[in-house]
Amino acid sequence: MAALEEAFGEVIQRQITDDASFTKWKASAARREVVAFVTRLNNSCVNKPNLSIDAAPLQIRKLMDALRAIAKGCDQYLPTPGEARRYGSPMFRDWHAWLVTTAPGLLASLGSDSAELAARLAASFGDRTRIDYGTGHEAAFVVFLLGCFKLQLINDDAIDSGAVVCGCFAEYVRTCRVVQRCFGLEPAGSKGVWALDDYQLLPFLFGCSQLADEEHGFGDEDTGLLTVNAVALSQRSMFYECLAFVDEQTGQTPLDVAAPILFNLTMQPWRVNARRLLRLFDEEVLGQKPVVQHMLFGELLRADWDSNTGPSEESERLMRMKAVMDAANRKLGIGS
């Protein structure tokens, strides 16, 4: 993070530094805005498959091209066989420095000269000091997309048509997998902390919504093994893309042992799973100090602790929608 803050420290800063600021964050308009945006993204992709780059609208295609360029950049910094390391490859630090310097040019090709937006893009792929990646970096990319919307690089139609999620966000996850595999990034926090995926959360949420009205079930409750070909179904949903990745990483270990929360999703309808995962994101990502203490604030996401500015009308509408989802969860006996 140090190189990122050195390059962009004038436009982005960490503001959640102690228990007092964390308590203010939990009740802030900024947190509500992020939850509302994720809720909108989730609603946009219901029953919609992954979007190929050729079928994507121009503005989304440009973002997907930029993400592919980020993934391609790994080729310049491949780890040396036998290099000395305890965890992830130190070459990640060199790659991350490249990303920090490259991000402004990538965004210039999209028509933006926002240094803050470039900082948010560079913050979305892991921490250069710890050589790790986790759901906080995933949340950083959500805020990057929110910034793109605020700066009119993506419009309402791109969001509500599902193109942002099914095209751009899906491409982001694929780029993250390239980076994770290339440098052997450590999961931020304890390995397997979610018992879901060592790195990601949101593609499972969006992936469940993509499958909303399809028959649920992907695992055998007796054997703990998959009953679907996740690789063959990857184009249908980010959920299957992630399922294939987890299955690859766990090897011969039954899924119900390697990723019990993930396996438990086979027992519930997709819409129920989506509600559970949205709540998990709100409570276990945005509601956890070890995660959000690394969140960056600026003009595109303000640290509004001491202001009286409330959420926008759109934010209020989506928060009411989330309240309905929470009420449904309680009725179903999901969560507290």
pLDDT in tens, 180-234: 999 999 988 644 444 678 899 999 999 999 999 999 889 998 898 899 999 999 9
Q: Taking residues 151-158, what's their average pLDDT?
A: 96
Residue extents of the structural domains in the chain: 2-298
SS3 157: helix
Closest to 204 (Cα-Cα) out of 292, 268, 156, 291: 268
With CA atoms as reference, report the closest residue to 76 among 98, 59, 56, 57: 98
CA distance 17 to 20: 8
3-state secondary structure of 127: strand
Mean pLDDT over 6-25 rounds to 92
H helix count then E strand count, the chain: 17, 4
**Residue 204 carries which side chain, given as an amino acid letter?**
F
Instruction: Give residue for tokens 């759901």.
Output: 135
Buried b (16+ CB within 10 A) or exposed e, 197-224: bbbbbbbbbbbbbbbbeeebebbeeeeb
Counted residue by residue, the chain has a size of: 336
Taking Cα atoms as reference points, which of 152, 175, 145 lies closest to residue 33?
Answer: 145
Q: Tabulate helix, strand, coil % of the chain (nearest 5).
A: 60, 5, 40
**Does pTM surpass 0.85?**
yes
- The pLDDT value given to residue 194: 47
pLDDT surpasses 80 at 60: yes
Answer yes or no: are the C-beta atoms of 125 and 98 closer than 8 Å. Answer: no
Higher pLDDT, 215 or 335: 215
Q: Which residue, 195, 144, 174, 178, is CA-closest to 41?
A: 144
Q: What is the mean pLDDT of residues 282-286?
A: 93
When pLDDT is cut at 50, 70 and 90, the band that residue 331 belongs to is: low
Q: What are the pLDDT digits (tens) for 85-123? A: 778 899 999 999 999 999 999 999 999 999 999 999 999
Residue 247, amino acid:
D
Which helix (H) or strand (E) element contains residue 178?
Answer: helix 170-183
Top CATH class of 2-298 equals mainly alpha
| pLDDT at residue number 56 | 97
Any idea what the Cα angle at residue 128 is, between residues 126 and 134, rounded to 5°?
Answer: 25
